[in-house]
Chain A
Amino acid sequence: EAQVTQNPRYLITVTGKKLTVTCSQNMNHEYMSWYRQDPGLGLRQIYYSMNVEVTDKGDVPEGYKVSRKEKRNFPLILESPSPNQTSLYFCASSLGGGSYNSPLHFGNGTRLTVT
């Protein structure tokens, strides 16, 4: 089954404790992206990747890191989480590139709470 898999679904942590949220897709997609969703603010893009070893900042990259060493994986790293990073996070992928009509495929989300 074609899918984007995020783990974990729920995560509670404390300020400053490094964490990684994993994202994997099995559709051979070139484009991958991370979003955070907050009430009243919609989806805001954190980082995106057009292909392996190519990553770029989105609208709200501060406090986050990503890597794209393999086509299928795009982990989100919070080196020193803070309470303002408490949010619902989504990973998404698509064919990307010149396929402008290619829709995004989303994972089921990771609800992160930082205390």
Chain B
Amino acid sequence: AQSVTQLGSHVSVSEGALVLLRCNYSSSVPPYLFWYVQYPNQGLQLLLKYTTGATLVKGINGFEAEFKKSETSFHLTKPSAHMSDAAEYFCAVTGSGGSYIPTFGRGTSLIVHP
């Protein structure tokens, strides 16, 4: 079985500060990992994904995530937060047990202070 844990339901940063959103997964096989972002009153959209190959993955809007197999982590970072980054962020995993069905974390709400 696969599962995803996002540490911290809310993360608050100042504009210009580093953003770090944590995601840990469990999977019986090498996973496929995703980060999605949900802006207010919108559906989720793909931010970035890890499949195979390079462990540092770059996404949209300056976000990136690093796959660390030894730590079973896929943390999302951005060097400098912008007010427009305020949103809900979801980590997801798929591929465990030969099943496509994605498993989502509970989400982290990013709050950006001026």
Contacts and interface: CB of A to CB of B under 8 A. Distances in A.
Interface of A: 4, 31, 33, 40-43, 45, 48, 50, 90, 92, 94, 96-104, 106-109
Interface string B18-56: 000000000000001010100001111110010100000
A40 B102 contact: no
The 3 closest A-B pairs by CB, nearest first: A42-B106, A106-B43, A100-B95
Contacts of A43: 44, 90, 104, 107
A97 B94 CA distance: 11
B105 A42 contact: yes
Given A31-B100, A108-B43, A100 B32 contact: yes
A103 B104 contact: no
B101 interface: yes
Contact of A109 (B42, B101, B107): B42
9 contacts: A42-B105, A92-B43, A100-B94, A100-B95, A101-B49, A104-B34, A104-B46, A107-B43, A109-B41
Given A40-B9, A42-B90, A96-B100, A104 B44 contact: yes
Contacts of B9: 40
Contacts of A4: 43
B100 A109 contact: no
A43 B101 CA distance: 13
B106 A41 contact: yes
